[in-house]
């Protein structure tokens, strides 16, 4: 749980890292005013904030039944402000490491968002990890077994199939739940559901969900524009900004001049979203994958 520019953010708790780091990144970015959607300065700030979050993810996040995760510290405004002060607005920081949050306390993914006329809302993400999971069907059920064991850190400091670096907090242990990036999220405005969103996409789930929220709240987009907009992604390691193809070449050049390594990608994430405003419901299906928004 967190807040962002007067909005309440509800998302998933560990063993997913999604909710923690969406709130953390939003907290960092709350210290800035954006210069427009997908300008070089805006992308730079977002990428730098993402680096800090993914560095912390590698160090601290794991199954809270097995490790102590500093959830309050990671999602605190004070900690986010301290990280934001390390961001150079004109140059990429290529020497980012995990921070010191305080207050310790005891490929195939699908997402759907639902809201009813009574104001109830559901944001749901579930996953087999890779396409068809482990490729094994439980006899007599038709249900596939997932292969999310890959989400554990098989060796601290080494990347998994999504390139994510993991630490000892997410090491394999008996009866332990593996870390994930699933981020089903509900944003409240004046105490009522405002945005219901989430996405598949492995490590890119966090940043996809984040950008839908930013696009609506900061860039004043309608929900379909927010879902359709070009996305960026930075996960600390590898040290590169991944950007969907179609971004202005001058913007890419400015980012390169700031010290960022830019890698162009076809698509990232598939956000299924609903926006509730003034009694009206607006559904948005992501054009990056077959799907649709329905009302009845």
pLDDT digits (tens, 9 = 90+) for 256-284: 999 999 999 989 999 999 999 999 999 99
pLDDT band at residue 106, thresholds of 50, 70 and 90?
very low
d(CA 257, CA 254): 5
Query: Minimum mean pLDDT among 44-48, 65-69, 222-226, 235-239: which range?
Result: 65-69
pLDDT of residue 68: 86
**109 given a catalytic annotation:** yes
Looking at the DSSP assignment, which residues form a beta bridge with residue 263?
242
Cα→Cα distances 18→36, 210, 220, 291, Å: 25, 9, 24, 23
User: What integer pLDDT is reported at residue 281 of this predicted model?
Assistant: 97
> What's the DSSP call for residue 148?
G
- Predicted confidence at residue 103, as pLDDT, reads 54
* Backbone conformation region of residue 175, classed left if phi is above 0, alpha if psi is from -120 to 50, else beta: left
The predicted structure's pLDDT at residue 105: 41
Among residues 42, 109, 209, 251, the one annotated as catalytic is: 109
- Please determine, for residue 155, whether its predicted confidence score (pLDDT) is greater than 90: no
If you ran DSSP here, which 8-state letter would residue 260 be given? P
* pLDDT tens figures, 172-224: 999 999 999 999 999 999 999 999 999 999 999 999 999 999 999 999 999 99
Domains of the chain, earliest start first: 2-284 (3.60.20.40)
Separation CA 147–CA 293 (nearest Å): 29
pTM, two decimals, is 0.77
Averaged pLDDT score across all residues of the chain: 93
Residues 6+ away with beta carbon under 8 Å from 253: none
Alpha helices in 37-187 (DSSP H): 40-60, 71-74, 77-84
CA 142 – CA 57 distance, rounded (Å) = 35
């Amino acid at each position: 749980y967190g807040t962002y520019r007067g909005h309440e953010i509800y998302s998933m708790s560990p063993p997913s890292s999604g909710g923690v780091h969406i709130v953390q990144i939003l907290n960092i970015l709350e210290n800035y005013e954006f210069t427009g959607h997908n300008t070089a300065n805006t992308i730079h700030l977002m990428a730098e904030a993402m680096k800090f979050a993914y560095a912390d993810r590698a160090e601290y996040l794991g199954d809270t039944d097995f490790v102590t995760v500093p959830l309050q510290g990671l999602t605190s405004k004070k900690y986010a402000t301290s990280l934001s002060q390390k961001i150079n607005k004109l140059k990429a920081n290529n020497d980012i490491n995990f921070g010191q949050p305080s207050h310790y306390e005891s490929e195939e993914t699908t997402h759907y968002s639902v809201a009813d006329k009574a104001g109830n809302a559901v944001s749901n993400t579930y996953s087999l990890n890779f396409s068809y999971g482990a490729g094994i069907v439980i006899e007599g059920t038709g249900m596939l077994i997932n292969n999310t064991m890959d989400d554990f850190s098989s060796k601290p400091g080494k990347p998994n199939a999504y390139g994510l670096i993991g630490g000892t907090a997410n090491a394999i242990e008996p009866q332990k739940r593996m870390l994930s990036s699933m981020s089903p999220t509900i944003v409240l405005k004046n105490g009522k559901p405002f945005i219901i969103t989430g996405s598949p996409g492995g490590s890119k789930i966090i940043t996809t969900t984040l950008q839908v929220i930013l696009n609506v709240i900061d860039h004043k987009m309608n929900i379909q524009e927010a879902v359709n907009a070009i996305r960026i992604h930075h996960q600390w390691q590898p040290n590169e900004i991944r950007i969907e193809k179609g971004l202005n070449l001058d913007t890419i050049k400015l980012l390169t001049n700031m010290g960022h390594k830019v890698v162009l990608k076809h698509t990232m994430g598939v956000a299924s979203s609903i926006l509730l405003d003034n009694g009206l419901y607006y559904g948005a299906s992501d054009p990056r994958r077959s799907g649709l928004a329905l009302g009845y």
